[in-house]
């Protein structure tokens, strides 16, 4: 349950939840170090709580970002361009919400413009904003595609994610070299087989 807000409290933009203080977060890391069987006060670990919290600020920066805002500026001077726009091999770095270990891979994003386009860096920023939260790959795929469709209102959106999950490769079943592939096709990419095949060809795949 969310505690009562106090002056100076930090609130997550994505969830509206109040964050613990930095001191509370560092204390939690110290507890985990002790639980693992080590001494948080020994020389090699004294700075670890601070470093972990700073790492988490980077890993989970997406909770303080609004992906929809990133897509607000668009361009209509496209000289009638109405073909597929694809940004492929976007580096994906996320964390599994079940075990809090990395998900590493790549994202391919395509859309079919309807009179306006968006800067390609914004597509990568949208991917990062959702990825830098605790995630499952299926939800991440849908969030990216749905946001692009809702904000840009193109004739279609396609998103494919290929990623390795360390919750499977470094623990549990310990299966290395396994890649999970997810996709979400909207509009023309769902309804028109030729448009979908064009996108898949551009990202170097024959199917998903």
Supply the pLDDT for residue 65. 97
Residue 38 CA to residue 121 CA, distance in Å, equals: 43
The length of the chain, given as a count of residues? 208
Distance CA 70, CA 83 (A): 22
pLDDT < 50 regions, the chain: 1-2
pLDDT tens, residue by residue, 85-101: 999 999 999 999 999 99
Active site residues: 96-99, 137, 165, 167
pLDDT at site 7: 54
DSSP 3-state assignment of 129?
Answer: helix
How much is the pLDDT for 1?
42
User: pLDDT value at position 6?
Assistant: 58
Listed in order, strand segments (DSSP E) in the chain are 74-75, 85-96, 102-112, 117-118, 134-135, 156-165, 180-187
Give the global pTM: 0.93
- 101 neighbors 163 (Cβ within 8 angstroms): no
- Cα 186 from Cα 142, distance rounded (Å): 10
Q: Where are the beta strands (DSSP E) in 85-126?
A: 85-96, 102-112, 117-118
């Amino acid at each position: 349950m969310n505690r009562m807000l106090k002056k100076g409290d930090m609130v997550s933009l994505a969830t509206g939840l109040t964050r613990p203080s930095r001191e509370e977060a560092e204390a939690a890391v110290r507890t985990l170090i002790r639980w693992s069987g080590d001494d948080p006060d020994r020389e090699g670990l004294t700075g670890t709580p601070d470093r972990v919290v700073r790492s988490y600020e980077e890993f989970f920066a997406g909770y303080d970002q609004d992906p929809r805002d990133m897509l607000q500026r668009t361009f209509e001077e496209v000289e009638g361009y109405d073909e597929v726009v694809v940004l492929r091999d976007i580096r994906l770095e996320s964390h599994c919400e079940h075990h809090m270990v990395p998900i590493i891979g790549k994202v391919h994003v395509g859309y079919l413009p309807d009179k306006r386009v968006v800067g390609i860096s914004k597509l990568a920023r949208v991917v990062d904003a959702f990825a830098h939260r605790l995630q499952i790959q299926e939800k991440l795929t849908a969030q990216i595609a749905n946001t692009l469709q809702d904000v840009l209102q193109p004739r279609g959106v396609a998103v494919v994610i290929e990623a390795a999950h360390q919750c499977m490769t470094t623990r549990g079943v310990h299966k290395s070299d396994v890649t999970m592939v997810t996709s979400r096709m909207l509009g023309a990419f769902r309804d028109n087989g030729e448009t979908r095949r064009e996108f898949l060809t551009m990202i170097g795949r024959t199917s998903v």
